[in-house]
Amino acid sequence: MAAPVKSRIDETVSPVQTLTIGKALNLGLRAAMEADDKVIILGEDVGKLGGVFRITDGLQKDFGEQRVLDTPLAESGIIGTAVGLAVRGFRPVCEIQFEGFIFPGFDQISSQLAKLHYRTQGKIKVPVVVRVPFGGGIGAVEHHSESPESLFAHIAGLKVVSCSNPADAYWMIQQAIASDDPVLFFEPKRLYHNGQLKSEVDTTTPPGPLFASRVVRTGTDATLVAYGPSVKVCLDAATAAQEEGRSLEVIDLRTISPLDLGPVFESVRRTGRLIAVTEAPSESSVTSEIAARVQQECFYSLEAPVLRVTGFDTPYPPSKLEEHYLPGLDRVLHAVDRSLGW
């Protein structure tokens, strides 16, 4: 196994860096590979090309072809190989090019990756991270803009998380790789290189644990909860609502399975209202579980029904129609109007 290489980050440079989500993920992967030579990246075009979104750019050059492997177009083979590597003591990181391509590997994920630790009574650990660029808004063709996270959240034995900002991208990918549990890591691909989200990242201190939600904007009138690409939509909605004298609290869920709803319960007990936002279809979704559990835990605090702003219960549409499908600013603000008008 090749020895770890020295970081590209000059030691004389400030540990606080201004990064996009894409660059933060790249540096987070690099830091994990430097810290542990058992970390291996494998996937389609992750090597010389650096991935279709360039998230693994430069890693094969610096760490070698034995640690950054270009694979055939075979998601089942990628996941199956990762399971075997994990059993032998490695920490594989698989890249699925687009979320819609993950389904050929679904059997390996649900039947092997999720169950091996439990089936062996804890004797075997399977520390595999599956990176999944997900969500719409990039004008792509069929199978390139889906949000299938609810399917994996329903499978016992898997952890499912999603980042929404550069600091979380940098630290959450390292924490996921360090975890002994298999983690599905959903990345909001339309935000990878969004300059508006470029922000300072402290590369010395993580902002918090991996499986924890976080209040990212405080408010008093209603609570918005989201994850991944929908967090930015909710923050934009909160800014727009402020101009009308409304104060909206925004919670970034961050962890989809296990759900950390403690901050959501606390917020709803103060605001009395909740709107859950996601790009995924509404039926049997993460927002369904949020709504059910908030109703159960905060029944006497609710001033209005829990509302959901989601994608529609249809296959993802052609790119010319995706703006009608995605839960945008207007739909979120309309839900806020409905909740406050109850």
Q: What is the pLDDT of residue 2?
A: 44
Domain boundary residue, one of 202, 234, 251 = 202
Locate 225 and state its tokens: 């909860």
95 and 179 together in one domain: yes
Cβ-in-10-Å burial (0-12, 13-18, 19+) of 261 comes to: buried
154 and 53 together in one domain: yes
262 and 185 together in one domain: no
Catalytic positions are: 144
CA distances from 268 to 83, 164, 254, 284 (A): 41, 22, 18, 22
Domain assignment of residue 78, yes or no? yes
Q: What is the pLDDT of residue 14?
A: 72
128 and 227 together in one domain: no
156 and 290 together in one domain: no
Percentage of residues of the chain with pLDDT beyond 70: 96
Domain boundary residue, one of 202, 233, 258 = 202
Could you list the residue range(s) of the whole structural domain that residue 179 is in? 16-202
Domain assignment of residue 3, yes or no? no
* pLDDT higher than threshold 80 for residue 46: yes
274 and 184 together in one domain: no
Beta bridge partners of 281: 311
Average the pLDDT over 46-60 and give the result.
Answer: 97
185 and 241 together in one domain: no
* pLDDT higher than threshold 90 for residue 341: yes
62 and 157 together in one domain: yes
The CATH number of the domain where 46 resides is what? Answer: 3.40.50.970
- Using one digit for the tens of pLDDT, what is the confidence trace for 161-176? 999 999 999 999 999 9
Q: What is the pLDDT of residue 133?
A: 98
| Position 13 confidence tier, pLDDT thresholds 50, 70, 90 | low
Q: Is the dihedral of CA 166, 310, 95, 41 positive or negative?
A: positive
- Cα(251)–Cα(78) distance, rounded to whole angstroms? 34
